[in-house]
Amino acid sequence: MLAYNYNLASNGIYPDSAMTNPTILPNPNLKPLKTTTIEVGTELRLFKNRLNFDFAAYLGNTKNQILSRIVDRATGYNVAVFNVGKVENKGIEVAVNGTPIQAGKFKWELTGTFTANRNKIVELADSSVVLRTGALGGGQIVANVGGSMGDLYGNGYQRSADGQIVYDAVTGNAKTGTGLIYLGNTMPKFRFSFGSTLTYGSFSVNGLFDAQLGAVAHSLTFSRMAALGKLNLTLPGRYNGVVGDGVIQNSNGTYRPNDVVATNLESFYTSLYGSDQAE
């Protein structure tokens, strides 16, 4: 990642090896990543270790985190590596385990964990950096000072002052807004798990449930299937047209309830759910 290099392709139509350009633009000025963390916690053992608690809270700062950013394809590369600046992380971790039943050869154990993490971009080489783009349009992962790693941005609908979707007065299709809007963060806010183990002698059975909550995503599969009429939500109006739930902007700037019947259903649902629409 520090210097230019090329790749050798040994298999091809020519007897000699072919050379291919790399897709990552090297950066000779990369600095090593540095992380400092302060952590406090406590550990409790109760009832002769039948009930145990572990709790920890941390605050960390990462400087010069190395990431990839999208660059113009005219450069011959797909991405460039750079130092992100400074990212602050803080969170908590909780673990609980206990043994409700322990009699002879039989034992029943329960475990549970919970974690929560927040991060904030404190410093950045530029005010805004596109880290990743979705396939065939859709969302973008963008880093902004004051934002968080994993922030998702994308095209949204044009909306009236009260938040209703604005439709085209001629076609009846949904209008796309100008500029990208913040859609949420792709990293889970919370993670938790719950497990149970039943043991009898040397035989044991274990079950585990875990979940992640609070993240958003842009599904290209959903977009393509909806735009092509493969989902149940595209059934309304399939034969007689459909009127979108929203408003039409009048020539004087006011709005009226949408009363335009969209008859080109592929175009209508593409305007609502197409791959370029991420909201």
**Does residue 221 sit in helix, strand or coil?**
helix
Question: Going along 66-223, which residue ranges are E strands?
Answer: 66-70, 79-83, 86-103, 106-123, 128-133, 140-144, 151-157, 166-167, 176-185, 190-200, 203-213
pTM: 0.76
Enumerate residues 6+ apart whose C-beta is below 8 A from 241. 172, 261, 262, 263, 265
| Distance of alpha carbon 273 from the chain centroid | 18
**Does residue 265 sit in helix, strand or coil?**
helix
User: 68: which 2 tokens?
Assistant: 């990839």
Q: Tens digit of pLDDT for each residue in 11-57?
A: 555 555 555 667 777 788 888 889 999 999 999 999 988 999 999 99
d(CA 37, CA 94): 18
Residue 239, pLDDT score: 84
Residue 61, pLDDT score: 92
Q: Which residues of the chain have pLDDT under 70?
A: 1-21, 127-128, 134-138
d(CA 226, CA 216): 19
Residue 10, pLDDT score: 57
What does each C-alpha distance from 70 to 23, 36, 74 come to in angstroms?
11, 28, 12
Q: Tens digit of pLDDT for each residue in 191-206?
A: 999 999 999 999 999 9
Angle at 40 between CA 39 and CA 46, to 5 degrees: 135
Please report where in the chains the tokens 């053992």 appear, as a residue. 45
User: 150: which 2 tokens?
Assistant: 């994993």
User: 253: which 2 tokens?
Assistant: 């700037």
Residue 7, pLDDT score: 56
- The helix (run of H) or strand (run of E) holding residue 62 is strand 51-63
Residues in the chain: 279
| Domain locations in the chain as residue ranges | 22-273
Please report where in the chains the tokens 């633009």 appear, as a residue. 25
Q: Tens digit of pLDDT for each residue in 66-84?
A: 877 777 777 777 778 888 7
d(CA 176, CA 54): 49
d(CA 234, CA 230): 7
Q: Is the dihedral of CA 221, 223, 224, 227 positive or negative?
A: positive
Which among 213, 146, 144 has a CA at the least distance from the CA of 180? 144
**Does residue 192 sit in helix, strand or coil?**
strand
